[in-house]
Homo-oligomer: A and B are copies of this chain.
Amino acid sequence: MSALPPEALRTELAALVGAGQVFTDPADTERYEQGARYGDGKAALVVRPGSAAEVAAVVHYCAVHGVPLIPQGANTGLVAASTPDSSGTQVVMSLERLRGEIEVDRANRTATVGAGVTLQDLNERLAQDGLCFPIDLGANPTIGGMIATNTGGSRLIRYGDVRHNLLGLEAVLADPPGQVLDLMSGLRKNNTGYDLKQLFVGTGGTGAVVTRAVLQVHPLPRQTATALIVPTGQDAILDLLIALEGEFGDFLTAYEGISQAAMQSVLDHVPGTANPFAPEPVPGYALLVELSSTASRELLGVDLQQALNDFLERQFETLVTNAVLDGGADLWKIRHSISESIRQQGKLIAFDIAVPRSSMVAFRTDALAMLQRDFPWLRLFDFGHWGDGGCHFNIVWPHEATPAFDADTVEKLRVAIYDLVVRGYGGSFSAEHGVGPYNERFYHRYTGPAVQAYAGRIQKAMDPHGALGRVWFGPAPAP
């Protein structure tokens, strides 16, 4: 907790970054204090350094004075890792000013970016060179936030996550406070000791603040094919995935499941959407397949959509009972509107989970049975990334339901689902969103004591005084 009087803190940080970049007025600080899904903290103030040197100065100052510091990107995170607690003593350090020019090295197929550059800005710049950074998300985070979260998204099956596309970074360390670590390699092969940048990926702003990065980028696809498929049954889903990977492994960019409830919710609540299977009813389960290729139709000799259509025709009746071909934008609109639509049905209880792909059917079957038995008034609107085992197992407590919403029951539900995921199927209680204060209790519940002890040992080595970030990965309680 800060021992400094608020006015002194403000004055001294203003001396480091300029008076115009330190905010204390609630009208200015509010958007940095409330998380996108959880958390409604109160910051001592918000500081916006404009360079790595200013970040270093702020980190050093706060560490020396014992002021807790929370790094923040675009504040699109879903686990409250980048927003302050309610004490009013934590300083939020927004990194949104760390932009500068995006440097594209065409021959190296890399982009060098400031941590404050947004995904959208990066992709607009890359498109000028026929390139993209293909981590596909609903939100528009900063690159620094994507690194701190190790975001995955809908196209992980093809491109991997942020970790797989991160060639280098620059970080300001919690300890020695404000030390800049230059790991700005643009190399794909470099085995010269610890790959230290891995310590700053997916660790939610603990240990260090990422200020710049070198990213591997990819050619923009020149052909895309989509289909929305009704499998013959749950058991066909994995067989179809295996068949698609065998036939189209080079091209398969997404394999997304959409439950009947999720699709119906979109059709009921999102203007401009229609049942793609009409006049047939909305199917019990549907799979959105996307293929894409950098090769042109001329080069391949085949239209990718036609190849997908032909493939599906061969699977008809064995694995597939119906399919809507092409219509990519409309199909993706349904997929991307699910989260928005289900919020209108009641209180959203979101689960960002993963299991091995081979366990997805069994997990879903078990979880549905458990919900019907123990929480029959809740409604499931699940959808997920079958290609990578991720699943947004989202549940709604309807406004009109009996019993009325209560937090204790929600916690029991969370534990019941996560127990099944982690203990029943060796899965993850946070596939894409990270730990953060919101998931910290589940981290301690599901992470083995040896792993927690080792993580704590590493975190202690990186940040002995807990200067940065909000999560302690060692054994609870914090030392």
Contacts and interface: CB of A to CB of B under 8 A. Distances in A.
Identical copies in the complex: 2
B199 A203 contact: no
Given A246-B294, A295-B247, A450 B190 contact: no
A389 interface: yes
A465 to B, nearest CB: 14
Interface string A180-203: 111101111111111110110111
Contact of A194 (B107, B196, B203): B203
A388 B188 contact: yes
Given A108-B356, A354-B189, A434-B191, A196 B247 contact: no
Contacts of A454: 173, 181, 196
B433 A191 contact: yes
B189 A426 contact: no
Interface string A79-101: 00000000000000000000000
B182 A450 contact: yes
Contacts of A157: 188
A179 interface: yes
Contacts of A161: 189
Interface in A125-179: 130, 149-150, 152, 156-157, 160-161, 163-164, 173, 179
Given A189-B161, A193-B473, A356 B105 contact: yes
Interface residues of A, number: 99
Contacts of A427: 187
A348 B149 CA distance: 45
Contact of A181 (B219, B388, B451): B451
Contact of A356 (B186, B250, B431, B433): B186
Interface in A434-455: 434-435, 439, 443, 446-448, 450-451, 454-455
Nearest to A387: B188
A460 interface: yes
Contacts of A193: 203, 435, 443, 447, 455, 471, 473
Interface stretch (A34-42, A68-76, A297-305, A371-379): A297-305
A130 B246 CA distance: 8
A461 B301 CA distance: 56
A476 interface: no
Contacts of A389: 108, 187-189
Contact of A300 (B160, B179, B301): B301
Nearest to A180: B450
A349 interface: no
Interface stretch (A237-245, A276-284, A409-417): A237-245
A124 B157 CA distance: 24
A102 interface: no
A293 interface: yes
Contacts of A446: 192
Nearest to A179: B450
A382 to B, nearest CB: 15
Nearest to A431: B189
Interface in A271-325: 293-296, 299-302, 307, 310-311
A350 to B, nearest CB: 15
A106 interface: yes
A399 interface: no
A265 interface: no
A294 B250 CA distance: 6
A85 to B, nearest CB: 19
A429 interface: yes
11 contacts: A110-B356, A156-B188, A163-B195, A173-B454, A185-B428, A187-B354, A188-B388, A189-B385, A192-B430, A250-B250, A299-B311
